[in-house]
Amino acid sequence: MTRSKVSKRYAKALLSLGMEDARYQEYGKELRAFADSYESYGELNQALTNPAFTLEDRKEILKALLTKSAASDTIRNFLNLLLDKSRISAVGEISSFYEQLTDEVSNVVRAEVVVPRPLAGDAESRLSRALEQMTRKKVRMNVRQDKSILGGVIVKIGDLVVDGSVKAQVQGIKESLKRGE
């Protein structure tokens, strides 16, 4: 079985637990917080995956970490399970799948918005509304700045890309000129 399939299964299992106690949103945030820490700190990564340390030692390290955090018991148990099954290294991927599943459950889509400079005034909220009207789902926007697009906006929702950038328009003109139109 591939790692992705395994990660999906773990994510689904955690979601089913979260659906039972209606805390799946909270679990998602906690899992994301741990995954970000795990992926950001190489030493933590090494400490939890290095086979030079015994499983008991690694569990102690994880326990010490979780004690300082405000993670729920469900997440603590889930992370311990991942450590037992040597799947802790896939925590980032599991978290991503979990977010996708919770988005589907919550009827939410994630939109990546690229702009050359920060959106002014209520542009962000108006854009969010427009996207919600378009997708008929709640939209969670992640706004990112990229000056190379020159101007305008690019929105990516899953496989859908709506490119309203000036760079795209220049490229379109360039292609038209090449074709001799």
Partner 1 sequence: METYPKNKRRHWLATGCFAAGFVLLSSFALASEGGADRSADLLDLLYRWINFTLLVIILVVVFKKVNIKQYFTARIEGIKKELEDLKKQREAAEGKARDLENKLKAFEGERKEILAQYRADGLAEKERILAEARDRAKQIVEQAEVSIQFEMQTAKEKLKEEVVALAAQRAEEIIAREMTEKDQDRLVNDFIEKLGKTH
Are residues 27 and 74 in contact, defined by beta-carbon separation less than 8 angstroms?
yes
Backbone angles phi, psi at 115, to 5 degrees: -135, 155
Provide the minimum distance between the beta carbon of 164 and partner 1 in the complex, in angstroms, as a whole number: 4
**Site for partner 1 (CB under 8 A): which residue of 2, 43, 120, 181?**
120
SS (H, E, C) 27-56: HHHHHHHHHHHHHHCHHHHHHHHCCCCCHH
Using CA atoms, how far apart are residues 133 and 121, in angstroms rounded to an integer? 20
- Which residues are CB-neighbours of 107 under 8 A, at least 6 positions away? 137, 138
Quick check: 131 binds partner 1 (CB under 8 A)?
Answer: yes
Point out which span in 5-13, 31-39, 64-72, 167-175 binds partner 1 (CB under 8 A).
Answer: 167-175
**Site for partner 1 (CB under 8 A): which residue of 45, 59, 108, 116?**
116
Using CA atoms, how far apart are residues 41 and 123, in angstroms rounded to an integer? 36
Quick check: 85 binds partner 1 (CB under 8 A)?
Answer: no
Quick check: 143 binds partner 1 (CB under 8 A)?
Answer: no
- Which residues are CB-neighbours of 142 under 8 A, at least 6 positions away? 110, 111, 112, 113
Provide the minimum distance between the beta carbon of 103 and partner 1 in the complex, in angstroms, as a whole number: 20
Dig out the tokens for 123 from the structure: 């542009």
C-beta of 68 vs 147, nearer to partner 1: 147
Provide the minimum distance between the beta carbon of 100 and partner 1 in the complex, in angstroms, as a whole number: 23
Quick check: 107 binds partner 1 (CB under 8 A)?
Answer: no
C-beta of 55 vs 130, nearer to partner 1: 130
Quick check: 160 binds partner 1 (CB under 8 A)?
Answer: no
Cα dihedral across residues 67, 73, 76, 81: positive or negative: positive
Residue numbers of the site for partner 1 (CB under 8 A)? 115-117, 119-121, 123, 126-127, 130-131, 133-134, 136, 147, 150-153, 155, 162, 164, 166-167, 170-171, 173-174, 177-178, 180
